[in-house]
Amino acid sequence: MKKSSKRKRKARPAELSTDLLTKQAEEQFAGARYKDAMQSYKLLIGRERRPEWIVALRHAYLARAEELAAKDMIKEASALWESMAHLCQSQDGLDRYLHWLLQSGRYERAARVLSDASNEFQDSAAGRDVAACLGVLLLGGKTELKGALPSDAQLDSAAAALRAYCAGDDEEMAAYLKRLPYRSPYRDLRPIFQALVKTQTCGGEAGTQLKKLSTDSIFTPLSTLIGALDLPEDRLLNQMRGLKPEEFQLFAALRGWDSTQIELLQKVLELKSSKEGVSLKALFRVLADYRQVIGEAHAQRMALALLNAYPDGIKAYDPVFKTLTVPHRLRIGALRNEQNDDPEEAVDLWYRCVDSLQQEPESEHNRLASALILRHVAKLKRAFMAPFEWMDEGLNDLGRSLEFDPTDKDTYLEMVQILEHHGREKERDRWLERAVKHLPEESDIILAAANAAYRRGAFKKAANYVDALLARDPINRQARGLLISCHLAHGRKQAVAGKFRHAVKELDIAMRHAKDEIQQGSVELTRGLVALAAGEEGKAAQWLEQGYQHSGGSAAADLRIIVDGRRIGISNKKLQPQLEMCRTKGRQDFDRADIFNFTDLLLRYRFEGVRFLTEIVTSLQKPLRKAAAFDYSLQELQSICEAFAEIDAYLPLGAYADKALAQAPGIPAFVYFDVVAKNRGRRRISNSDRGRLLDAYERAENEGDFATMERIDQLFESSGSFGAMGPVSGFPPDLGSVLGEALESMSEAEFAELAAKVFGDDLEQLFEPLPVPQRKREKKAHRPADDSGSEPPRQDELF
């Protein structure tokens, strides 16, 4: 027995009771099942012609017709409307029906339906639109409408105006347009023709005319077309995409394009409308085929630029344009390797490109290109080299680039910064000398040279640099600060030598340059200290008190008195009472500004080579840590942390790094500062901190934070945990296997010794959390393979 025969048969609609069928029809309509609803209502009407069912049937028909029209089934939609009109004796939705007729090309039928429609409909906006549309179609060549449309004087006027416009008779055109009454369906042609006339003379006025059109006018697309005539090139093409071929012809005619331009633009629009879009290959083809229309020079430049992303076009480029030079070939190859994530191969090709460019060493263009390439290479190498490895390589590339382009300020400054950071001062000074020689008027270079001279104690030379700089740039605050520092330093030098009169003279000069209270305060404090060294305690107290007040009291002034006092050679015993006296009159707590002044001064002293800063900061750690509670931006916190890290002031460093990590967890620079502070500069780092540093390194690498990468790298290097850097890029890719082989050949005792060296006290911690069997396996894995037939350890397990 068949399974289906067991089921209860669903009742057919015709078998349903009227109530049930009504309910079903309503549900079908509500559920947008219009076709089913139509059938149900037709059955119901067959039983009884109730008016509400007829209305419901009409709605179902119209809704279904709209549904079909939305799917571009216009003919089917029209047929449904016709059925509805017959079944329900209704003209509902006549405007939609007329639109569908027009859309499906049944113009004659549309004209007849319109003429049979009620006067009310003919006089409505929808009716006038259809009439205008049919009129325009008749003028446009749909002659079949001639018999279907009644003779229309307004249409004749519109046609005459159009003929007059095309013939260039603007007066006649205006006269015909004036004949169109206000309610004429062709009334909107007035601003259209007036705008067309204006496009030839003044594009802006055309826009004013077009604004007179209502947005729902049937002439809106034509108005948009006219408005697009003066669009900038990048918007023009998109606008043209929406044009029909007939509209494009008009657009081209109005723009005055010739046949070759039209052919090119049609080709491009065709490409743009294709599903695949415009591929690089197709674009290259357009450039090659239409280079004369586009313009030879422009086409060649575009094709060359295209080759950077489309190297396959090189073969086609040579015969069409001109043979690509060797440097260009190498350059394109290098860029391709960069795109393919092979920077090492790219670097090789860039070097070859430089060599090739140097075949014509006298060419200024080639020299500049070589310099730019070498700078690019230095940047590229940063991406795949460890910081310590990059330094010499990068400096070499940058230095070589300056041979070709010796006036690049940024490269000098970058090199100076790197060399200074790594304490290679002699090299730094050599590069600075070259920089000053080539760029004697460049403020940043002169300032860098002055700072370097100051740092090596050549105060007069530094002052000369800064004097020259201030003569050109008198409001350079950094230069002024440095000049004052130079005179103060020279004054201290004289005081140390017991030449107090000379010292005072220098301080007088410094005072003349001081422009604000802080600068004046620093001179006054030094003056007080010189007086103290000269034994003039009364004067000293006066100057120090004055200077303390001008310096804003508090942290920075304390620091200055202690550091400069010591540098002049004043004993603590002599200095302390003066400091206490100042402190009683100054503020006890630090505010935000004090912290910035203090850290700026710390860095300045560090830069000047002052060595005893840590102990001074340690003595001030309580108020410094308290001041960490203020609000700081991450950038401010970074500057503060850098200053404390620089002088190994771990307690305040920890407080500020903690604050930053609470604000923005995981930021690599602050993770580094936190680890350094926590370990108090000790070389040995715990496993958990090593893990944090490795994560921070990876994040810094992703974010391009090279400074933090370098710091972490140096910390690892100094902690001797080189082996822990396995995952860090920049190490040889085969490092694991090399070390693996080395470890394999070690005896257990040798291995234990090495492990103790690398992991120190953390060795136990390293193995402690492991379950015993695994620990045994780990230990076994570190032993050399024996002859027992067990498998040798996998090399990657060694790390």
Partner 1 sequence: MNDPYSILEVAESASDEEINSAYLRKVREYPPEQEPERFQMIRDAFETIRTVKDRLHYQLFCQVPPDLESVLAPVLRRRNARQRPTEEVLLKALAASVLKVKKTQQQ
Q: What residues numbered 80-109 form the site for partner 1, per CB under 8 A? A: 96, 99-100, 102-103
CB of 768 to partner 1, least distance (A): 51
Nearest to residue 608, comparing CAs of 451, 795, 387, 735? 451
Q: Which is nearer to partner 1, 165 or 590 (CB)?
A: 165
By C-beta, is 354 or 649 nearer to partner 1? 354
- Per CB under 8 A, the segment of 301-309, 677-685, 750-758, 762-770 that binds partner 1 is 301-309
Is residue 350 within 8 A of residue 327, CB to CB? The reply is no
| Binds partner 1 (CB under 8 A): choice among 211, 298, 437, 585 | 298
Scan residues 118-147 and list those touching partner 1 (CB under 8 A). Answer: 132-133, 136-137, 139-142
Q: What angle do CA 454, 455, 459 make, to 5 degrees?
A: 25
User: What is d(CA 188, CA 217) in angstroms, rounded to the nearest whole number?
Assistant: 7
Q: Which of residues 316-335 bind partner 1 (CB under 8 A)?
A: 331, 335
Q: Which amino acid is at 14?
A: A
Among 90, 122, 261, 358, interactor with partner 1 by CB under 8 A: 261
Question: Any contact of residue 31 with partner 1 (CB under 8 A)?
Answer: no
Q: Which stretch binds partner 1 (CB under 8 A): 52-60, 365-373, 430-438, 633-641?
A: 365-373
For partner 1, the closer CB: 219 or 716:
219
Q: Which residues contact 479 (CB under 8 A, 6 or more apart)?
A: 443, 446, 447, 450, 466, 469, 470, 473
Q: Does 373 bind partner 1 (CB under 8 A)?
A: yes
Among 16, 63, 236, 694, binds partner 1 (CB under 8 A): 236
Determine, following the binding rule CB under 8 A, whether residue 368 of this chain makes contact with partner 1: yes
**Interaction of residue 199 with partner 1, rule CB under 8 A:** yes
Residue type, 476: N
* Only segment of 244-252, 485-493, 499-507, 783-791 that touches partner 1 (CB under 8 A): 244-252
Residue written as tokens 């100054």? 586
* Angle (nearest 5°) at CA 582 between 577 and 587: 135
Q: How far is the CB of 112 from partner 1 (least distance, A)?
A: 18
136/700 with CB nearer partner 1: 136
529 touches partner 1 by CB under 8 A: no
- How many residues bind partner 1, per CB under 8 A? 83
| Selected range binding partner 1 among 14-22, 370-378, 483-491, 616-624, rule: CB under 8 A | 370-378
Find the binder of partner 1 among 171, 246, 362, 791 (CB under 8 A).
246
**Which helix H or strand E contains 234, and what residues bound it?**
helix 233-241
Sign of CA dihedral 624, 625, 630, 633: positive
Of the candidates 272, 422, 461, 779, which one interacts with partner 1 according to CB under 8 A?
A: 272
How many angstroms separate the CA atoms of 457 and 490, rounded? Answer: 9
CB of 28 to partner 1, least distance (A): 25
Q: What's the rounded Cα separation, in Å, for the pair 152 and 157?
A: 9
278 binds partner 1 (CB under 8 A): yes
Q: Is there binding between residue 448 and partner 1 (CB under 8 A)?
A: no
Q: Phi first, then psi: what are they for 546, rounded to 5°?
A: -60, -45
CB environment 463-478: b (16+ within 10 A), e (fewer): bebbeebbeebeebee
The answer to whether 258 contacts partner 1 (rule: CB under 8 A) is yes
* Token reading at 9: 């048969």
CA neighbours closer than 13 Å in the CB half-sphere of residue 125: 5
Among 19, 120, 171, 234, binds partner 1 (CB under 8 A): 234
Interface residue with partner 1 among 16, 54, 283, 320 (CB under 8 A) is 283
Distance CA 306, CA 281 (A): 9
Tell me if 450 contacts partner 1 by CB under 8 A.
Answer: no
* DSSP reduced 3-state for 697: helix
Say what the alpha-carbon torsion angle 549, 554, 559, 565 is, to the nearest 10 degrees: 40
Q: What residues form DSSP beta bridges with 731?
A: 729
CA gap 777, 735 in Å, rounded: 23
The stretch near partner 1 (CB under 8 A) out of 49-57, 226-234, 475-483, 580-588 is 226-234
Q: From the CB of residue 101, how many other CB atoms can be counted at a distance below 10 Å?
A: 24
Kindly tell me which residue out of 41, 310, 459, 697 binds partner 1, with binding defined by CB under 8 A.
310
| Unique residue bearing structure tokens 């700078």 | 375
Single out the residue of 456, 440, 454, 444 nearest to residue 484, CA to CA: 454
54 binds partner 1 (CB under 8 A): no
Site for partner 1 (CB under 8 A): which residue of 2, 10, 12, 70?
70
CA-based diameter of the chain, in Å?
127
Site for partner 1 in 531-590 (CB under 8 A): none
Dist CA 242 CA 555 (whole Å): 70
Question: By CB under 8 A, what part of segment 205-224 binds partner 1?
Answer: 216-222
What's the CA dihedral at 411, 412, 416, 418 to 10 degrees? Answer: 10
Question: Considering the complex, what minimum distance in angstroms separates the CB of residue 776 from partner 1?
Answer: 54
In the window 723-782, what residues touch partner 1 (CB under 8 A)?
none
State in angstroms the smallest separation of the CB of 29 from partner 1. 22
Q: What is the DSSP string of 46-76?
A: HH---HHHHHHHHHHHHHHHHHHHHTT-HHH
> What does the chain come to in residues?
799
* Residue 265 engages partner 1 in binding (rule: CB under 8 A): yes
List, in order, residues 6 or more apart from 610 with CB less than 8 Å away: 563, 567
Residues within window 385-414 making contact with partner 1, judged by CB under 8 A = 405
State in angstroms the smallest separation of the CB of 752 from partner 1: 53
Q: Structure tokens of 686?
A: 């715990």
Helices H / strands E in the chain, number of each = 47, 0
Q: In angstroms, what is the minimal distance from the CB of 132 to partner 1?
A: 7
Nearest Cα residue to 737 out of 794, 695, 785: 794
**Which of the residues 600 through 619 are near partner 1 (CB under 8 A)?**
none
Q: Name the residue nearer to partner 1 (CB basis): 132 or 453.
A: 132
Do the beta carbons of residue 306 and residue 298 sit within 8 Å? no
- Cα(174)–Cα(169) distance, integer angstroms: 9
Q: Write each residue from 166 to 185 as x if it is in contact with partner 1 (CB under 8 A), else as -, in one continuous string.
A: x-x-----------------
Q: Counting contacts by CB under 8 A, is residue 45 touching partner 1?
A: no
Identify the residue among 306, 518, 766, 781 touching partner 1 (CB under 8 A).
306
User: Interface with partner 1 by CB under 8 A: which range of 3-11, 289-297, 738-746, 747-755?
Assistant: 289-297
Residue placing its CB nearer to partner 1 in the complex, 302 or 752: 302
Of 193 and 716, nearer to partner 1 (C-beta) is 193
| Residue 464 contacts partner 1 per CB under 8 A | no
Closer Cβ to partner 1, 129 or 713, answer by number: 129
